[in-house]
Structure 1
Amino acid sequence: MSRSLVQPVGQKRLTNVAVVRLRKHGQRFEIACFPNKVLSWRTRVEKDLDEVLQSHTVYSNVSKGVLAKSKELTKAFGTDDQTKICIEILEKGELQVSGKEREAQLSSQFRDIATIVMEKTINPETRRPYTITMIERLMHEIHFAVDPNLTSKEQALKVIKKLMERFPIKRAPLRVRLTAPKPKFAGLMDKVVEWNAIVISKDESGNPPSIVCEIEPSILHSCEERLKDVQGRVEVLSVSAHAEGGSSVDPHDNVEELQTVPAKEPDVVAQISESMQKQSISTESQEGQGKQQRRCKECDVLVEDKLYREHCKSGWHKHNYTRHKNGLPPLSQEECTVEMELADAKKDLKDYDF
């Protein structure tokens, strides 16, 4: 029985393609681009059109390989020049990305926003910045969602305002140098007192005299206007002034900053401790009841048979199991809780050095 042979079709399959779509005059037009090149073109990083477009062809559907008709192109764009139309679609069209690519972009922008917030804020008690991990945790607490249509800096400023409403956090002060002629220097000092600025240093013998101080970022523009009265000038030295000696952290500082995280943290610790207490069984009480018990060699305690499986799933048992493999003696429940909390604190602070 003869079978018809299937001849290879001269079809160019588009794989790993970034599709840019534009709707005009009720018609949909698409172009096929290389991944990660569309944004480079729009930001003028990439200037070679051939490095962006996979082909100088306008489609009505890229995935199916359906080309746009010349009549439709002429009606919508006023020309049938494929290259010119591709450029217009590339500039004005909507970039179609996969779910994983969109998730990666949003995750990267979320990290960028958290970094900006960390650089521009401090803990008002210690005058030092929070860690990036803490900032991300607080952003999750206020249910922040990234808007891809806004820049990271714009969103970071909005996040700071929301965080200041709920948590002990404030904008890092600006460190500026104020100068004024000698006859007007007394008036400059009056304005520094009026602004509640923190004076770092003062040089009255300079030409002109100057003051280095820290001010709130919100009054910077008003300072520039008011200094015109005394013929003064302001120069920004640092956009975020932190406490001195911030490059190294004392262990007590770690504990202090962890306490400034929202009050939900102690509740979580209490819940963990309470659940571990329910899972652990006291040896004395069980001996009095005369129930069947099994000894856990990792934790060195007697556990009722019915609760032995739950005990093996507890964090206390898992922690002692790791210590047992490393040749270390077992810890009691209280000691285990403290050690695990200290490990979590170190994990939060390892990504950032003050």
Structure 2
Amino acid sequence: MDGIEYLWSGPVATRLSTTALPAIVDWCRARRVTRPMLVGGGSLTATPQALALVHALEAAELAVWCFDRATTPSISVVADAVASYHFENCDALIAIGSAVAMDVAKGAALMAGQRSPYSALACDPGGEGVPVDASALPPLLALPATPSAAMAVGGVVWIADEMGAARPVRHPALRPGEAVLADDTVMSVPDDAHGRSSALAALVAADAGCSDAAVAGLMEPGVSAVTTMRRALVMASTIEGARAPRRRLALTSSVIGGLDFGQTMLALLGQACWRTDAQAKLGGTPTDVSSLSADLIRSTRGVCDTSDLIEVDRILDLLGVEQPGAPRRRGRRGRVV
């Protein structure tokens, strides 16, 4: 059996809840979790609603630790989260909020149980590199608050190195044991942020080869935020099960060095029935990517294998970026690429 096929038989088990509190408490008690680490951005502890959730969890006799520095899915942030997890003697992770929170939480769950660095781990089960040790991975619960976050729920984690080059690791143990769609968590996201996230989720789905009709469903006007989230969760297993999930999106975001890749992806995907709506939700004007540093481009290309190099070079050409005359690295089969 192919190393990927068995991972993605269907969506992550999902619970619908009016409020996040009872779902989190039930999940923790069922697994005898007493000190979960909440993973999210700055809003995790900065709003009255978020603080009320933390206090309510503490009232339910859970010794909660909040990691509110999930600002980017990078090696440094994941290392910070892992250090906090061990220092505070936590026994589970709960991702709340954005797609970044999902990836940071999955990355922290992964690295909390590994003895090898992230860069040394095999990208796929049975692939080249150090096999993932799944025996020490802590339990993981996901509470996505945006469509992009729902799309990021799955067994693939994308973490960027110090230069912004993203690298995936796939393993069934990285799939959250459960995802919760809580009305109060989803509705706490402003409408404009939710709209932007739905446009980005549509770009991810289109890049992974989902049907135009399915992608358009993420952009359909007049539907509730929870409905959009449910559609994104259903599509997540298909997207993460693709042989190269989010490759172009990840590589594009790496190549443009943290600039807004949404506009760039719109230009790359061509015409689609939902494209105009996505452009309106993303707003702004296409990012100028003509002045990228040679070091950034070189480092991004340095982590690519043969097929990735072909893709990233095509993106650079489409963006009109002059590539530095650096020698290309050897591919995995020893060929100069």
TM-score normalised by L of structure 1: 0.22
Q: TM-score, normalised by structure 2?
A: 0.23
* Larger proportion of strand: 1
Larger radius of gyration: 1
